[in-house]
Amino acid sequence: MYAQNDVNRGEFTWKISNFTKLIALRLYSEAFTVSGCQWRILVYPKGYGSTNYLAVYLDVPDSGTLPVGWTRKAKFSLSVIDQISNVSRFGIETQEVFTASSSNWGFLHFLPLTLLRNPTRGFIANDTLVIKAEVCILTVIPPVDIQPARPTDMFDSYFTGLEELIDAAETNGASVGSSSCRHDGALRAEIPSFEEVEKARQSLKECLSDLFKLNMKERLSEALTTLSSARIGLTLEQQIAIETFRSNFNDFTSDFLTFEQDNAEFELHKLQKDQRFSAMKKCHDTHILYKQLMDDLIKEEEEVKSRREKLLSDWKILLVESEEAKSGYEDEQKKVAEAEEKKRIAEEKMSRSTTAWSNLKAQFC
């Protein structure tokens, strides 16, 4: 019924899963387009009203938004597919006029539900029903003006979004906060000497300068323990800071170790993000190049099309001129033959006249 190269014809296949478990009394398929007109399938899986038949219709989904007085005349068929054979089907074909008041047409008693659910028929397989609509548009009022999509429209749409993402990535920076670190150490009852305090102060400074050394936690704990017992070499503010830090040592050091791990993970993902960004930007730049090449190719095709049309036009003129020349030649050829015959007759007559003239001249001259 349908040829693929006819823009007025089209088909749509709808797979309805969990068909026997459906609660809805009626279902609509997604919309599909044939020759610029939208359609959808309407089905009553449990039958319409008290009927025990599957009811199937072809429906116009955008009926309410179409111009006043719209009509569509269409020839269509609705079928359920035998999924066992994959070639057999049960279908009905009809021809109807769709309007605002009659926006769907179909079959109330399409197929008995008992036959539909018969497992040997294969209409329902894996609890899935397959319905196929084939539509041929005969007339549409008002006509639908279909603008063909440019070959690059799909790419333009995607890469426009990609360009916005690239711009946002280039203008927005990322900042990383900092954290602190802590740990508990063993308490020492004895008071450290001045040399021990100085050594602990130096160790503390080294730990605070490089928090992520391998033995940082142990050295820091030891230094804090020594300094917390010191009675000399520390100001009151330093003693308070040390006691504050020691009291939350485990939490502080755990925070720093967590930060170290999270920071390493962040740097890894940041590196991967930068690599992805470079790849994304390269794709976008290549898209710009491809788009330019496509635009140039379209221009070349338009020029070739224009030259082709000019050549065909000149060719048609040449055909007319050639036909005229041929016809004129054939006419002149006939006239030459006629004139040649007349000339031959005239030559015979002139020959007789010349002979008589010569005889007469011979007698008297």
Instruction: For 95-143, write each residue's pLDDT tens digit.
Output: 999 999 999 999 999 999 998 999 888 999 999 999 999 999 999 988 7
Q: How high is the pLDDT of residue 365?
A: 74
Name the residue with higher pLDDT: 183 or 38. 38
Q: How high is the pLDDT of residue 133?
A: 96
Query: Is residue 52 scored above 50 in pLDDT?
Result: yes
Q: How high is the pLDDT of residue 180?
A: 36
What's the whole-number mean pLDDT along residues 28-55?
93
Cβ atoms of 282 and 289 closer than 8 Å: no
Name the residue with higher pLDDT: 320 or 261. 320
What's the whole-number mean pLDDT along residues 269-273?
87
Q: Which pLDDT band holds residue 88 (cuts at 50, 70, 90)?
A: confident
Residue type, 35: S
pLDDT averaged over the chain?
A: 80
pLDDT of 247-259, one tens digit each? 677 776 677 767 7
Kindly report which listed range (205-209, 263-267, 295-299) carries the lowest average pLDDT score. Answer: 205-209
* Secondary structure in 3-state letters for the chain: CCCCCCCCEEEEEEEECCHHHCCCCCEECCCEEECCEEEEEEEECCCCCCCCEEEEEEECCCHHHCCCCCEEEEEEEEEEECCCCCCCEEEEEEEEEEECCCCEEEEEEEEEHHHHCCCCCCCEECCEEEEEEEEEEEEEECCCCCCCCCCCHHHHHHHHHHHHHHHHHHHCCCCCCCCCCCCCCCCCCCCCCHHHHHHHHHHHHHHHHCCCCCCHHHHHHHHHHHHHCCCCCCCHHHHHHHHHHHHCHHHHHHHHHHHHHHHHHHHHHHHHHHHHHHHHHHHHHHHHHHHHHHHHHHHHHHHHHHHHHHHHHHHHHHHHHHHHHHHHHHHHHHHHHHHHHHHHHHHHHHHHHHHHHHHHHHHHC
Query: Is residue 175 scored above 50 in pLDDT?
Result: no
Query: Is residue 149 scored above 70 in pLDDT?
Result: no
Could you give the angle at which helices 249-364 and 153-171 cross, rounded to 10 degrees? 140
Q: How high is the pLDDT of residue 181?
A: 37
Q: How high is the pLDDT of residue 96?
A: 95
pTM > 0.95: no
Q: How high is the pLDDT of residue 57?
A: 97
Q: How high is the pLDDT of residue 292?
A: 86
